[in-house]
Structure 1
Amino acid sequence: MSSGVEFVKDGHVARVVLDRPKALNAITPQMDDALLDAWTEINNDPDIWVAVLSATGEKAFCAGGDVSGAAEGPSRRMALGGGLTGVGGPLLTLRKPLVAAVQGYVIGGGFELAMCADVIVAADTAQFGMPETKVGIIGEAGIMHRAIRQLPHHIALAMILTGERIPAAAAERYGLVNEVVGYPDLAEAADRWAQKITAASPLAVQAAKEAVLSRVGWPLEVALATRYEPIEAYASTKDRLEGRAAFAERRAPRWQGR
Protein backbone atom coordinates (compact mmCIF):
# COMPACT_ATOMS: atom_id res chain seq x y z
CA MET A 1 0.00 0.00 0.00
CA SER A 2 1.39 3.37 -1.01
CA SER A 3 2.06 5.93 1.71
CA GLY A 4 0.95 8.73 -0.60
CA VAL A 5 4.40 10.33 -0.47
CA GLU A 6 7.32 9.79 -2.85
CA PHE A 7 10.87 10.50 -1.68
CA VAL A 8 13.82 10.51 -4.06
CA LYS A 9 17.38 11.72 -3.61
CA ASP A 10 18.68 13.33 -6.80
CA GLY A 11 22.29 14.37 -6.30
CA HIS A 12 22.25 17.04 -3.61
CA VAL A 13 18.50 17.59 -4.03
CA ALA A 14 15.84 15.66 -2.12
CA ARG A 15 12.50 15.47 -3.90
CA VAL A 16 9.41 15.01 -1.73
CA VAL A 17 6.15 14.54 -3.64
CA LEU A 18 2.60 14.41 -2.29
CA ASP A 19 1.05 11.68 -4.43
CA ARG A 20 -2.66 11.40 -3.76
CA PRO A 21 -4.16 13.52 -6.54
CA LYS A 22 -7.65 11.97 -6.52
CA ALA A 23 -8.03 13.22 -2.94
CA LEU A 24 -6.48 16.62 -3.75
CA ASN A 25 -3.31 15.39 -1.99
CA ALA A 26 -5.01 15.71 1.39
CA ILE A 27 -2.59 14.47 4.04
CA THR A 28 -3.43 11.20 5.77
CA PRO A 29 -1.75 9.93 8.95
CA GLN A 30 0.27 7.53 6.78
CA MET A 31 1.48 10.49 4.72
CA ASP A 32 2.44 12.31 7.91
CA ASP A 33 4.54 9.29 8.91
CA ALA A 34 6.23 9.24 5.50
CA LEU A 35 6.84 13.00 5.56
CA LEU A 36 8.41 12.80 9.01
CA ASP A 37 10.76 10.11 7.71
CA ALA A 38 11.62 12.29 4.71
CA TRP A 39 12.35 15.45 6.75
CA THR A 40 14.41 13.43 9.23
CA GLU A 41 16.54 11.90 6.47
CA ILE A 42 17.00 15.30 4.83
CA ASN A 43 18.19 16.77 8.13
CA ASN A 44 20.57 13.89 8.85
CA ASP A 45 22.11 13.35 5.39
CA PRO A 46 25.02 15.79 4.83
CA ASP A 47 24.88 15.13 1.09
CA ILE A 48 21.35 16.58 0.84
CA TRP A 49 21.67 20.36 0.47
CA VAL A 50 18.14 21.37 -0.52
CA ALA A 51 14.67 19.82 -0.63
CA VAL A 52 11.90 20.37 -3.18
CA LEU A 53 8.31 19.71 -2.10
CA SER A 54 5.74 19.25 -4.86
CA ALA A 55 2.53 17.35 -5.58
CA THR A 56 1.07 15.32 -8.41
CA GLY A 57 -2.00 16.35 -10.37
CA GLU A 58 -2.89 19.74 -11.79
CA LYS A 59 -5.96 20.32 -9.61
CA ALA A 60 -4.32 20.76 -6.21
CA PHE A 61 -1.06 21.01 -4.34
CA CYS A 62 -2.76 20.05 -1.08
CA ALA A 63 -6.22 20.50 0.40
CA GLY A 64 -4.95 20.13 3.96
CA GLY A 65 -5.38 17.24 6.37
CA ASP A 66 -7.57 14.30 5.40
CA VAL A 67 -10.83 14.57 7.35
CA SER A 68 -12.56 11.53 5.88
CA GLY A 69 -11.78 9.45 8.94
CA ALA A 70 -11.03 6.46 6.73
CA ALA A 71 -7.30 6.32 7.45
CA GLU A 72 -5.66 4.89 10.54
CA GLY A 73 -3.91 7.22 12.95
CA PRO A 74 -0.17 7.96 12.72
CA SER A 75 2.26 5.65 14.47
CA ARG A 76 4.03 8.64 16.05
CA ARG A 77 2.76 11.88 17.54
CA MET A 78 3.65 14.76 15.24
CA ALA A 79 2.35 17.98 13.75
CA LEU A 80 0.62 18.09 10.36
CA GLY A 81 2.96 17.75 7.39
CA GLY A 82 5.25 15.29 9.12
CA GLY A 83 5.89 17.77 11.92
CA LEU A 84 6.77 20.69 9.66
CA THR A 85 3.80 22.93 10.48
CA GLY A 86 3.78 22.63 14.28
CA VAL A 87 -0.01 22.19 14.16
CA GLY A 88 -1.44 19.42 16.33
CA GLY A 89 1.86 18.06 17.59
CA PRO A 90 5.59 18.72 18.07
CA LEU A 91 7.23 21.05 15.56
CA LEU A 92 10.02 19.64 13.42
CA THR A 93 12.58 22.18 12.24
CA LEU A 94 13.96 21.50 8.77
CA ARG A 95 17.57 22.69 8.77
CA LYS A 96 18.01 22.45 5.00
CA PRO A 97 16.42 24.95 2.59
CA LEU A 98 12.98 23.95 1.28
CA VAL A 99 11.51 24.95 -2.08
CA ALA A 100 7.76 24.39 -2.51
CA ALA A 101 6.23 24.05 -5.98
CA VAL A 102 2.46 24.58 -5.74
CA GLN A 103 -0.48 24.49 -8.12
CA GLY A 104 -4.26 24.53 -8.02
CA TYR A 105 -5.80 24.47 -4.58
CA VAL A 106 -3.33 25.43 -1.84
CA ILE A 107 -5.76 25.60 1.03
CA GLY A 108 -6.05 24.92 4.74
CA GLY A 109 -3.21 22.75 5.98
CA GLY A 110 -1.84 22.66 2.43
CA PHE A 111 -1.46 26.45 2.50
CA GLU A 112 0.28 26.18 5.85
CA LEU A 113 2.62 23.48 4.55
CA ALA A 114 3.56 25.74 1.63
CA MET A 115 4.23 28.63 4.00
CA CYS A 116 6.76 26.43 5.83
CA ALA A 117 8.97 26.55 2.73
CA ASP A 118 11.81 29.03 2.30
CA VAL A 119 11.03 29.62 -1.38
CA ILE A 120 7.61 29.19 -3.01
CA VAL A 121 7.16 28.79 -6.75
CA ALA A 122 3.53 28.84 -7.88
CA ALA A 123 1.78 27.83 -11.06
CA ASP A 124 -0.54 30.50 -12.40
CA THR A 125 -3.40 28.13 -11.51
CA ALA A 126 -2.63 28.29 -7.78
CA GLN A 127 -5.23 29.58 -5.33
CA PHE A 128 -4.31 30.17 -1.69
CA GLY A 129 -6.90 30.12 1.03
CA MET A 130 -7.95 29.53 4.63
CA PRO A 131 -11.52 28.23 4.48
CA GLU A 132 -11.87 27.63 8.23
CA THR A 133 -14.24 30.48 9.06
CA LYS A 134 -16.26 30.02 5.88
CA VAL A 135 -17.07 26.41 6.71
CA GLY A 136 -17.34 27.02 10.45
CA ILE A 137 -14.43 24.85 11.52
CA ILE A 138 -11.75 26.37 13.75
CA GLY A 139 -9.10 24.21 15.36
CA GLU A 140 -5.46 25.09 15.82
CA ALA A 141 -4.87 28.55 14.36
CA GLY A 142 -1.34 27.94 13.10
CA ILE A 143 -2.20 28.77 9.51
CA MET A 144 -3.59 32.14 10.58
CA HIS A 145 -0.53 32.99 12.68
CA ARG A 146 1.72 32.21 9.71
CA ALA A 147 -0.45 34.14 7.26
CA ILE A 148 -0.50 37.32 9.38
CA ARG A 149 3.32 37.18 9.42
CA GLN A 150 3.85 36.40 5.74
CA LEU A 151 1.17 38.58 4.14
CA PRO A 152 0.24 42.25 4.57
CA HIS A 153 -1.90 42.67 7.69
CA HIS A 154 -5.18 43.58 6.03
CA ILE A 155 -4.80 41.02 3.23
CA ALA A 156 -4.26 38.23 5.75
CA LEU A 157 -7.15 39.33 7.95
CA ALA A 158 -9.50 39.61 4.98
CA MET A 159 -8.60 36.05 3.97
CA ILE A 160 -9.06 34.81 7.55
CA LEU A 161 -12.38 36.57 8.15
CA THR A 162 -14.00 35.76 4.80
CA GLY A 163 -12.43 32.43 3.91
CA GLU A 164 -11.93 33.70 0.36
CA ARG A 165 -8.93 32.64 -1.71
CA ILE A 166 -6.35 34.76 -3.52
CA PRO A 167 -4.87 33.81 -6.91
CA ALA A 168 -1.20 33.26 -7.66
CA ALA A 169 -0.75 36.71 -9.22
CA ALA A 170 -1.97 38.41 -6.03
CA ALA A 171 0.18 36.12 -3.90
CA GLU A 172 3.22 37.20 -5.89
CA ARG A 173 2.24 40.86 -5.59
CA TYR A 174 1.94 40.53 -1.81
CA GLY A 175 5.33 38.83 -1.57
CA LEU A 176 3.97 35.43 -0.52
CA VAL A 177 5.53 33.61 -3.48
CA ASN A 178 8.86 34.12 -5.22
CA GLU A 179 7.80 33.33 -8.78
CA VAL A 180 4.69 32.52 -10.80
CA VAL A 181 4.96 30.37 -13.93
CA GLY A 182 2.68 28.39 -16.20
CA TYR A 183 1.79 24.98 -14.79
CA PRO A 184 3.84 23.10 -17.46
CA ASP A 185 6.93 25.05 -16.30
CA LEU A 186 6.41 24.56 -12.56
CA ALA A 187 8.82 21.65 -12.02
CA GLU A 188 11.54 23.32 -14.07
CA ALA A 189 11.17 26.58 -12.13
CA ALA A 190 11.43 24.77 -8.78
CA ASP A 191 14.54 22.95 -10.00
CA ARG A 192 16.06 26.24 -11.06
CA TRP A 193 15.64 27.61 -7.54
CA ALA A 194 17.09 24.41 -6.08
CA GLN A 195 20.14 24.71 -8.33
CA LYS A 196 20.61 28.36 -7.29
CA ILE A 197 20.71 27.23 -3.69
CA THR A 198 23.09 24.31 -4.31
CA ALA A 199 25.47 26.70 -6.08
CA ALA A 200 26.02 28.37 -2.69
CA SER A 201 27.98 26.83 0.19
CA PRO A 202 25.55 24.33 1.78
CA LEU A 203 26.92 24.79 5.29
CA ALA A 204 26.81 28.57 4.97
CA VAL A 205 23.24 28.34 3.69
CA GLN A 206 22.17 26.14 6.61
CA ALA A 207 23.91 28.38 9.15
CA ALA A 208 22.30 31.48 7.66
CA LYS A 209 18.83 29.91 7.68
CA GLU A 210 19.17 28.85 11.33
CA ALA A 211 20.45 32.25 12.41
CA VAL A 212 17.79 34.27 10.61
CA LEU A 213 14.78 32.14 11.54
CA SER A 214 15.83 31.62 15.16
CA ARG A 215 15.67 35.37 15.79
CA VAL A 216 13.05 36.54 13.30
CA GLY A 217 10.55 37.35 16.05
CA TRP A 218 13.04 39.12 18.33
CA PRO A 219 14.04 42.80 18.45
CA LEU A 220 16.89 43.71 16.11
CA GLU A 221 19.29 44.49 18.95
CA VAL A 222 18.79 40.96 20.34
CA ALA A 223 19.34 39.38 16.93
CA LEU A 224 22.53 41.39 16.42
CA ALA A 225 23.87 40.50 19.86
CA THR A 226 23.23 36.76 19.55
CA ARG A 227 26.07 34.32 18.95
CA TYR A 228 25.14 31.74 16.33
CA GLU A 229 26.91 28.44 16.83
CA PRO A 230 26.44 27.15 13.23
CA ILE A 231 28.02 30.33 11.88
CA GLU A 232 30.92 30.08 14.31
CA ALA A 233 31.39 26.38 13.46
CA TYR A 234 31.47 27.21 9.74
CA ALA A 235 34.74 29.10 10.24
CA SER A 236 36.63 25.81 10.63
CA THR A 237 35.07 23.91 7.72
CA LYS A 238 36.63 22.81 4.46
CA ASP A 239 33.99 24.72 2.54
CA ARG A 240 35.08 28.03 4.06
CA LEU A 241 38.65 27.37 2.92
CA GLU A 242 37.35 26.32 -0.51
CA GLY A 243 35.34 29.53 -0.82
CA ARG A 244 38.41 31.65 -0.12
CA ALA A 245 40.55 29.61 -2.51
CA ALA A 246 37.96 29.78 -5.30
CA PHE A 247 37.69 33.55 -4.90
CA ALA A 248 41.47 33.99 -5.03
CA GLU A 249 41.78 31.70 -8.06
CA ARG A 250 38.77 33.25 -9.82
CA ARG A 251 36.98 29.94 -10.33
CA ALA A 252 33.69 28.38 -9.30
CA PRO A 253 33.90 26.78 -5.84
CA ARG A 254 33.64 23.02 -5.43
CA TRP A 255 31.61 22.58 -2.27
CA GLN A 256 31.75 19.40 -0.20
CA GLY A 257 29.29 20.23 2.54
CA ARG A 258 32.00 19.45 5.08
Structure 2
Amino acid sequence: MPSTPDATPAHPCPADPAPEVRTERIGTSLLITLDRPRARNAVNAAVAAQLAAALDELTEDPALRVGVLTGAGGTFSAGMDLKAALAGESPEIPGRGFGGLTETLTTKPLIAAVEGWAMGGGFELALACDLIVAADDARFGLPEVKRGLVAAGGGAIRLPKRIPYHLAMELLLTGEPVSGERAGRLGIANRVVPAGETVPTALDWAAALAANAPLALAAVKKVAHAAGGTPEPAAFAAQRTMTAALTASADAREGMTAFAERRTPVWQGK
Protein backbone atom coordinates (compact mmCIF):
# COMPACT_ATOMS: atom_id res chain seq x y z
CA MET A 1 0.00 0.00 0.00
CA PRO A 2 1.36 3.48 -0.79
CA SER A 3 1.86 5.87 2.11
CA THR A 4 1.61 9.63 2.11
CA PRO A 5 4.70 11.73 2.93
CA ASP A 6 3.09 13.19 6.06
CA ALA A 7 1.67 9.99 7.52
CA THR A 8 3.22 6.88 9.00
CA PRO A 9 1.16 3.69 8.68
CA ALA A 10 0.11 2.20 12.00
CA HIS A 11 1.14 -1.21 10.67
CA PRO A 12 4.05 -0.79 8.23
CA CYS A 13 3.78 -3.04 5.20
CA PRO A 14 6.56 -5.57 4.65
CA ALA A 15 9.06 -4.77 1.94
CA ASP A 16 8.26 -6.08 -1.52
CA PRO A 17 9.96 -9.39 -2.24
CA ALA A 18 13.12 -9.23 -4.30
CA PRO A 19 12.37 -9.45 -8.02
CA GLU A 20 12.95 -12.86 -9.59
CA VAL A 21 13.63 -11.35 -13.02
CA ARG A 22 16.06 -8.43 -13.26
CA THR A 23 16.53 -6.03 -16.16
CA GLU A 24 19.55 -3.87 -16.95
CA ARG A 25 19.90 -1.41 -19.81
CA ILE A 26 23.28 -1.63 -21.50
CA GLY A 27 23.42 0.81 -24.39
CA THR A 28 20.54 -0.09 -26.70
CA SER A 29 20.27 -3.61 -25.24
CA LEU A 30 18.11 -4.90 -22.41
CA LEU A 31 19.79 -7.62 -20.35
CA ILE A 32 17.05 -9.80 -18.79
CA THR A 33 18.22 -12.12 -16.01
CA LEU A 34 16.19 -14.91 -14.44
CA ASP A 35 17.18 -14.54 -10.79
CA ARG A 36 16.13 -17.58 -8.71
CA PRO A 37 19.55 -19.24 -8.42
CA ARG A 38 18.58 -21.32 -5.38
CA ALA A 39 15.78 -22.86 -7.49
CA ARG A 40 18.06 -23.08 -10.57
CA ASN A 41 15.95 -20.29 -12.09
CA ALA A 42 12.92 -22.56 -12.37
CA VAL A 43 9.85 -20.76 -13.68
CA ASN A 44 6.87 -20.21 -11.39
CA ALA A 45 3.98 -17.76 -11.76
CA ALA A 46 6.03 -14.82 -10.45
CA VAL A 47 8.88 -15.44 -12.88
CA ALA A 48 6.45 -15.76 -15.79
CA ALA A 49 4.74 -12.47 -14.94
CA GLN A 50 8.02 -10.63 -14.44
CA LEU A 51 9.57 -12.02 -17.62
CA ALA A 52 6.47 -10.96 -19.58
CA ALA A 53 6.83 -7.47 -18.12
CA ALA A 54 10.51 -7.36 -19.11
CA LEU A 55 9.63 -8.34 -22.67
CA ASP A 56 7.00 -5.59 -22.74
CA GLU A 57 9.69 -3.12 -21.65
CA LEU A 58 11.89 -4.28 -24.52
CA THR A 59 9.06 -4.07 -27.03
CA GLU A 60 7.62 -0.73 -26.00
CA ASP A 61 10.78 1.35 -25.54
CA PRO A 62 12.08 2.65 -28.89
CA ALA A 63 15.50 3.27 -27.33
CA LEU A 64 15.93 -0.50 -26.85
CA ARG A 65 16.87 -2.49 -29.93
CA VAL A 66 17.83 -6.01 -28.77
CA GLY A 67 17.18 -8.20 -25.74
CA VAL A 68 19.56 -10.68 -24.09
CA LEU A 69 18.05 -13.38 -21.86
CA THR A 70 20.19 -15.22 -19.30
CA GLY A 71 20.07 -16.81 -15.85
CA ALA A 72 21.82 -15.99 -12.58
CA GLY A 73 24.15 -18.25 -10.64
CA GLY A 74 25.62 -20.20 -13.55
CA THR A 75 22.31 -21.76 -14.65
CA PHE A 76 20.06 -20.62 -17.47
CA SER A 77 16.85 -22.29 -16.24
CA ALA A 78 15.76 -25.68 -14.93
CA GLY A 79 12.38 -25.14 -16.60
CA MET A 80 9.02 -25.42 -14.88
CA ASP A 81 8.98 -25.23 -11.10
CA LEU A 82 7.37 -28.64 -10.53
CA LYS A 83 6.72 -28.04 -6.84
CA ALA A 84 4.83 -24.85 -7.65
CA ALA A 85 2.97 -26.65 -10.45
CA LEU A 86 1.93 -29.44 -8.09
CA ALA A 87 0.56 -26.76 -5.77
CA GLY A 88 -1.60 -25.46 -8.62
CA GLU A 89 0.59 -22.59 -9.73
CA SER A 90 0.89 -21.99 -13.48
CA PRO A 91 4.17 -20.98 -15.16
CA GLU A 92 2.25 -19.81 -18.24
CA ILE A 93 0.74 -16.48 -19.20
CA PRO A 94 -2.48 -16.87 -21.24
CA GLY A 95 -1.77 -16.03 -24.86
CA ARG A 96 1.97 -15.73 -24.19
CA GLY A 97 2.89 -19.27 -23.21
CA PHE A 98 5.46 -20.69 -20.81
CA GLY A 99 7.35 -18.01 -18.91
CA GLY A 100 5.39 -15.37 -20.78
CA LEU A 101 7.71 -15.96 -23.76
CA THR A 102 7.30 -19.22 -25.66
CA GLU A 103 4.16 -18.17 -27.55
CA THR A 104 5.09 -14.50 -27.81
CA LEU A 105 6.31 -13.28 -31.18
CA THR A 106 8.64 -10.50 -30.07
CA THR A 107 9.25 -7.77 -32.64
CA LYS A 108 12.86 -7.16 -31.59
CA PRO A 109 15.75 -9.66 -31.72
CA LEU A 110 16.20 -11.73 -28.58
CA ILE A 111 19.45 -13.56 -27.79
CA ALA A 112 19.71 -16.37 -25.23
CA ALA A 113 22.99 -16.48 -23.29
CA VAL A 114 23.05 -20.01 -21.85
CA GLU A 115 25.32 -21.00 -18.99
CA GLY A 116 24.86 -24.29 -17.16
CA TRP A 117 21.54 -26.11 -17.43
CA ALA A 118 18.79 -25.23 -19.89
CA MET A 119 16.37 -28.03 -19.14
CA GLY A 120 12.76 -28.55 -20.19
CA GLY A 121 11.08 -25.19 -20.22
CA GLY A 122 14.48 -23.56 -19.85
CA PHE A 123 15.54 -25.05 -23.18
CA GLU A 124 12.19 -23.95 -24.62
CA LEU A 125 12.80 -20.38 -23.49
CA ALA A 126 16.11 -20.48 -25.38
CA LEU A 127 14.37 -21.94 -28.46
CA ALA A 128 11.91 -19.04 -28.34
CA CYS A 129 14.83 -16.65 -28.80
CA ASP A 130 16.19 -15.75 -32.23
CA LEU A 131 19.84 -16.52 -31.47
CA ILE A 132 21.59 -18.68 -28.88
CA VAL A 133 25.06 -18.22 -27.38
CA ALA A 134 26.02 -21.29 -25.33
CA ALA A 135 28.82 -22.06 -22.93
CA ASP A 136 30.79 -25.09 -24.09
CA ASP A 137 29.86 -26.93 -20.89
CA ALA A 138 26.18 -25.90 -20.92
CA ARG A 139 23.57 -28.66 -20.92
CA PHE A 140 20.45 -28.59 -23.09
CA GLY A 141 17.69 -31.16 -22.52
CA LEU A 142 13.98 -31.88 -22.82
CA PRO A 143 13.35 -34.44 -20.05
CA GLU A 144 9.54 -34.14 -20.08
CA VAL A 145 9.01 -37.77 -21.17
CA LYS A 146 10.76 -38.80 -17.95
CA ARG A 147 8.01 -36.97 -16.04
CA GLY A 148 5.10 -38.31 -18.10
CA LEU A 149 4.80 -35.07 -20.03
CA VAL A 150 5.48 -33.59 -23.47
CA ALA A 151 7.81 -30.65 -24.19
CA ALA A 152 4.76 -28.48 -24.78
CA GLY A 153 6.42 -25.09 -24.37
CA GLY A 154 7.67 -25.21 -27.93
CA GLY A 155 10.23 -28.02 -27.73
CA ALA A 156 8.18 -30.56 -29.68
CA ILE A 157 7.16 -27.88 -32.20
CA ARG A 158 10.35 -25.90 -32.71
CA LEU A 159 13.19 -28.40 -32.33
CA PRO A 160 12.24 -30.57 -35.36
CA LYS A 161 12.18 -27.36 -37.42
CA ARG A 162 15.63 -26.26 -36.25
CA ILE A 163 17.65 -29.46 -36.60
CA PRO A 164 17.30 -32.74 -38.57
CA TYR A 165 14.23 -34.76 -37.57
CA HIS A 166 16.06 -37.81 -36.23
CA LEU A 167 18.35 -35.70 -34.05
CA ALA A 168 15.39 -33.75 -32.69
CA MET A 169 13.57 -37.00 -31.91
CA GLU A 170 16.64 -38.28 -30.08
CA LEU A 171 16.38 -35.40 -27.62
CA LEU A 172 12.58 -35.53 -27.38
CA LEU A 173 12.20 -39.31 -26.98
CA THR A 174 15.16 -40.04 -24.71
CA GLY A 175 14.97 -36.94 -22.56
CA GLU A 176 18.77 -37.01 -22.34
CA PRO A 177 20.71 -33.72 -22.42
CA VAL A 178 23.45 -32.64 -24.81
CA SER A 179 26.42 -30.40 -24.07
CA GLY A 180 26.77 -26.86 -25.31
CA GLU A 181 29.56 -28.06 -27.56
CA ARG A 182 27.29 -30.67 -29.19
CA ALA A 183 24.44 -28.14 -29.34
CA GLY A 184 26.70 -26.00 -31.50
CA ARG A 185 27.49 -28.92 -33.81
CA LEU A 186 23.78 -29.74 -34.13
CA GLY A 187 22.93 -26.16 -35.01
CA ILE A 188 20.96 -25.47 -31.83
CA ALA A 189 23.46 -22.83 -30.69
CA ASN A 190 24.83 -20.17 -33.02
CA ARG A 191 27.99 -19.59 -31.03
CA VAL A 192 29.76 -21.69 -28.41
CA VAL A 193 32.13 -19.91 -26.04
CA PRO A 194 34.01 -20.73 -22.81
CA ALA A 195 31.94 -20.76 -19.62
CA GLY A 196 31.40 -17.28 -18.23
CA GLU A 197 31.62 -15.55 -21.60
CA THR A 198 28.08 -15.98 -22.91
CA VAL A 199 26.65 -12.68 -21.67
CA PRO A 200 29.56 -10.49 -22.88
CA THR A 201 29.45 -12.31 -26.24
CA ALA A 202 25.68 -11.89 -26.52
CA LEU A 203 25.87 -8.19 -25.62
CA ASP A 204 28.59 -7.59 -28.23
CA TRP A 205 26.40 -9.36 -30.79
CA ALA A 206 23.37 -7.34 -29.68
CA ALA A 207 25.29 -4.10 -30.23
CA ALA A 208 26.18 -5.25 -33.74
CA LEU A 209 22.54 -6.07 -34.50
CA ALA A 210 21.44 -2.69 -33.15
CA ALA A 211 23.49 -1.00 -35.87
CA ASN A 212 20.97 -2.31 -38.40
CA ALA A 213 17.63 -0.66 -39.20
CA PRO A 214 15.05 -1.52 -36.51
CA LEU A 215 12.15 -1.71 -38.96
CA ALA A 216 14.17 -4.08 -41.14
CA LEU A 217 14.98 -6.31 -38.15
CA ALA A 218 11.30 -6.51 -37.24
CA ALA A 219 10.37 -7.27 -40.85
CA VAL A 220 12.95 -10.07 -41.06
CA LYS A 221 11.43 -11.71 -37.98
CA LYS A 222 7.90 -11.34 -39.33
CA VAL A 223 8.78 -12.83 -42.73
CA ALA A 224 10.80 -15.69 -41.21
CA HIS A 225 7.91 -16.72 -38.95
CA ALA A 226 5.40 -16.47 -41.80
CA ALA A 227 7.59 -18.66 -44.03
CA GLY A 228 8.05 -21.39 -41.44
CA GLY A 229 5.25 -23.68 -42.62
CA THR A 230 2.46 -24.16 -40.08
CA PRO A 231 2.12 -20.89 -38.16
CA GLU A 232 3.28 -21.40 -34.59
CA PRO A 233 0.04 -20.12 -32.99
CA ALA A 234 -1.87 -22.82 -34.92
CA ALA A 235 0.72 -25.43 -33.96
CA PHE A 236 0.43 -24.55 -30.27
CA ALA A 237 -3.39 -24.71 -30.48
CA ALA A 238 -3.24 -28.17 -32.08
CA GLN A 239 -0.70 -29.32 -29.51
CA ARG A 240 -2.97 -28.27 -26.63
CA THR A 241 -5.76 -30.44 -28.05
CA MET A 242 -3.47 -33.43 -28.57
CA THR A 243 -1.83 -33.29 -25.14
CA ALA A 244 -4.83 -32.32 -22.96
CA ALA A 245 -5.52 -35.90 -21.82
CA LEU A 246 -1.83 -36.54 -21.15
CA THR A 247 -1.45 -33.42 -19.03
CA ALA A 248 -4.43 -34.49 -16.89
CA SER A 249 -3.28 -38.11 -16.59
CA ALA A 250 -2.25 -39.94 -13.44
CA ASP A 251 1.13 -40.63 -15.05
CA ALA A 252 1.80 -36.91 -15.53
CA ARG A 253 1.09 -36.21 -11.87
CA GLU A 254 3.18 -39.22 -10.86
CA GLY A 255 6.10 -37.99 -12.95
CA MET A 256 6.08 -34.55 -11.35
CA THR A 257 5.51 -35.96 -7.86
CA ALA A 258 8.36 -38.45 -8.25
CA PHE A 259 10.69 -35.68 -9.35
CA ALA A 260 9.72 -33.51 -6.38
CA GLU A 261 10.21 -36.51 -4.05
CA ARG A 262 13.48 -37.51 -5.77
CA ARG A 263 12.41 -41.06 -6.58
CA THR A 264 11.86 -43.19 -9.66
CA PRO A 265 8.33 -42.79 -11.06
CA VAL A 266 5.97 -45.75 -11.18
CA TRP A 267 4.06 -45.57 -14.46
CA GLN A 268 0.54 -46.97 -14.77
CA GLY A 269 -0.24 -46.04 -18.35
CA LYS A 270 -3.29 -44.05 -17.32
Residue number among 1, 5, 20 corresponding to 2:36 in the alignment: 20
Contact 1:133 1:161 in 2 (8 A): yes
TM-score (norm 2): 0.73
Structure 1 residues 133 and 73: alpha-carbon distance in aligned structure 2, compared to 1, 3 A threshold:
closer
Question: Structure 1 residues 156, 49: closer, same or farther in 2, change over 3 A?
Answer: same
Aligned with 1:116 (options 109, 114, 128): 128
Q: What do the CA deviations read for 1:114-150 (whole angstroms, capped 9, x no partner)?
A: 0011110001121111101123333736311111111
| Cross-structure match for 2:139 | 127
Q: Specify whether residues 46 and 26 from structure 1 end up closer, same or farther in structure 2 by C-alpha distance, changes over 3 A only.
A: same
Instruction: Find runs of 4+ consecutive structure 1 residues off by over 4 angstroms.
Output: 70-76
CA distance in 2, matches of 1:41, 1:2: 19
The answer to whether structure 1 residue 208 and structure 2 residue 258 are counterparts is no
Q: 1:46 to 1:23 in 2, by over 3 A?
A: same
What is the SS of the residue equivalent to 1:26?
coil
Paired position in structure 1 for 2:182: 170
Does the aligned pair in 1 maintain the 2:183–2:189 contact within 8 Å? yes
- The aligned amino acid for 2:98 is L
Q: CA-to-partner distance for each residue in 1:5-64, whole Å, 9 max, x for gaps?
A: 001222211111001111110011011111111111211111111001011112x21011
Instruction: Specify the alignment match of 1:33 in structure 2.
Output: 49
2:115 maps to amino acid? Q
User: CA RMSD for the aligned pairs?
Assistant: 2.1
1:2 aligns with 2:18: yes
Identity of aligned residues (%): 38
Question: Are 1:80 and 2:95 an aligned pair?
Answer: no
| Letter matched to residue 46 of structure 1 | P
The 1-side partners of 2:62 and 2:134 are apart by 28
Q: Matched residue of 2:132: which SS?
A: strand
The count of aligned residue pairs is: 212
Deviation at 1:76, TM superposition (A): 5.9
Structure 1 pair 39–141 and aligned structure 2 pair: CA distance change class (3 A): closer
SS of equivalent to 2:25: strand
* Structure-2 change in CA distance of 1:135 and 1:98 (3 Å): same
Instruction: State the TM-score, normalizing by the size of structure 1.
Output: 0.76
Q: Structure 1: give runs of 5+ residues left out of the alignment.
A: 87-91, 219-258
